[in-house]
């Protein structure tokens, strides 16, 4: 279990508690309280989804590294790394699954 999965589960638990509060407030005749409690439900659900995606990305990277030991010609994951996703392909991190960019990222990191 990665730390991301643990955090995702905590967010789901918090979203469930907030959803319970929302339902209780709505049934007790407090619509504004119910509406206010909806925000943490949506926020925590979104956070849980992001952490869950990060967990699956780490599992995919580990599986890719495991397969790469057997077959060094294995294709990189798509996207190759999360930094490339957020930078539009301009930057790559040291966990990049494209071996060329991994070497370049290490070289660039050592210069700083
Ligand atoms: Zn990359």
pLDDT tens digits along 25-79: 999 999 999 999 999 999 999 999 999 999 999 999 999 999 999 998 999 998 8
pLDDT at residue 76, as a whole number: 92
Higher pLDDT residue, 87 or 110? 87
Please give the structure tokens belonging to residue 108.
Answer: 């660039």
pLDDT at residue 106, as a whole number: 65
110 to 33, 93, 98, 104, 106: CA distances (angstroms): 53, 12, 19, 10, 6
Higher pLDDT residue, 48 or 110? 48
Could you give the angle at which helices 31-70 and 3-27 cross, rounded to 10 degrees? 160
Q: Ligand 1 centroid to 2 CA: how many Å?
A: 21
Residues with a beta carbon under 5 angstroms from ion ligand 1: 80-81, 84, 92, 96, 101
The overall average pLDDT reported for the chain is 90
pTM: 0.79
Domain ranges of the chain: 1-74, 78-112
Q: Ligand 1 centroid to 62 CA: how many Å?
A: 15
Q: Are 80 and 60 in contact (CB under 8 A)?
A: no
């Amino acid at each position: 279990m990665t730390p991301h999965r643990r955090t995702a589960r905590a967010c789901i638990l918090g979203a469930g508690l907030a959803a319970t509060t929302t339902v209780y407030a709505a049934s007790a005749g407090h619509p504004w309280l119910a509406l206010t409690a909806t925000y943490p439900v949506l926020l925590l659900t979104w956070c849980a989804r992001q952490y869950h995606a990060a967990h699956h990305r780490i599992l995919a990277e580990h599986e890719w590294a495991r397969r790469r030991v057997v077959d060094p010609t294995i294709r990189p994951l798509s996207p190759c790394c999360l930094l490339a996703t957020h930078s539009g392909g301009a930057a790559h991190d040291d966990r990049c699954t494209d071996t060329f960019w991994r070497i370049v990222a290490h070289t660039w990191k050592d210069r700083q």
